Amino acid sequence: MNKSNFVLPKTYLIGYTSLNLDGLKEYLEDTNQTEFLNDIEEAQKSGINDGEILCSFYAKACYASLVLNKNKNITRIRDIEDNVKGILNSGHGSVLEHCQLNFMITNCSRVFTHELVRHRVGTAFSQTSGRYVRTDKLNVVIDPILEPAYDLVEEAREFLESWYKRLETRLDINNIKDFNHKKKLTSAMRRLLPNGQSNEIGVSLNLRTLRHTLEMRTSEHAEWEIRLVFNQIYNLVKQKFPLMFFDAKENMINGLLGITFTNRKV
């Protein structure tokens, strides 16, 4: 049995919202709030992420509390770190939506992607197109719970891979010049491929959605593969966005972390 045909998802953090200091500085100059630039500098020195600073900026802007003397009701202002923690403690979750994180996930199954795309609010998805993409090899993502029967799993995988190649030959798809017809055949042929087939998906989530989704998809009741991926996501972001996850609680459940947040109302 060739276990190299069995693959596991891997997640990459490929982008996230950052500050455009030139534009922000222009706004602060035009509104006589340049003192806030000192807060930004101190926050960056302490390792606070641009996205967290941006969330703090929008929260402070709501209450005219970027600097003193803009709001007569305010006699003191919080620094950015205390402000972000106050956001989470108070449940002011809407400002977390201003920061978005971008991930690419490889070697994931369509079982996983079908579950992932249920999270529509605050997300964006770009997935491998089974209508356009054909491959020479059928790799599959298999839950380790099936390890006692891996030989039977491989038997099924080999059959489907061989069948798919025979179907390609019968249809002579490789020699078809009309791309539109080739696309239609590829789309029709994929209907017989398994949900465990390996593919890729890009996903973007804002910080508010990510906190919610982490709790749901690292739960012990979630499916194995989606728990694995969101463990990877959590490990990628918890150091880069320390304030946004300062209230996270980690529990090891069946070899994977279960994440809960103290401030669930966010």
* Cα 167 → chain centroid: 36
Reply yes or no on whether 217 is catalytic. yes
CA distance 131 to 183: 6
Q: Which two tokens stand for residue 58?
A: 């929008």
Between the two ends of the chain, the Cα-to-Cα distance in Å is 48
Catalytic residue among 110, 157, 208, 217: 217
> Do 182 and 101 contact (CB within 8 A), yes or no?
no
> Do 241 and 207 contact (CB within 8 A), yes or no?
yes
In sequence order, the 6+-apart residues with CB closer than 8 A to the CB of 34 are: 25, 28
Catalytic amino acids? Answer: 217
